[in-house]
Amino acid sequence: MIKVFGTEMATEVVNHAMQCHGAMGMTKELPLQLMANQVRLMHVYEGPTEVHRMAIAKRTLKDF
């Protein structure tokens, strides 16, 4: 659950920061471009978020 929540929250924070900085958020002068690339990789690292959601759902619902 942490991987799912952390990835989504990091994406939201970086996207918001890039929007606040406007065009400067896309340049290499600020670390936001690097952060945006790293956040995109977080969605795939150790499996896509959707796979983790399915695993959480299966474990939660297996007793029902």
12, 29, 46, 50: the catalytic one is: 46
Q: Any catalytic annotation for residue 29?
A: no
Q: CA–CA separation, 36 vs 62, rounded Å?
A: 36
Q: Give exposure, 43-52, as e/b (b: 16+ Cβ within 10 Å).
A: eeeeeebeeb
Active-site residue set: 46
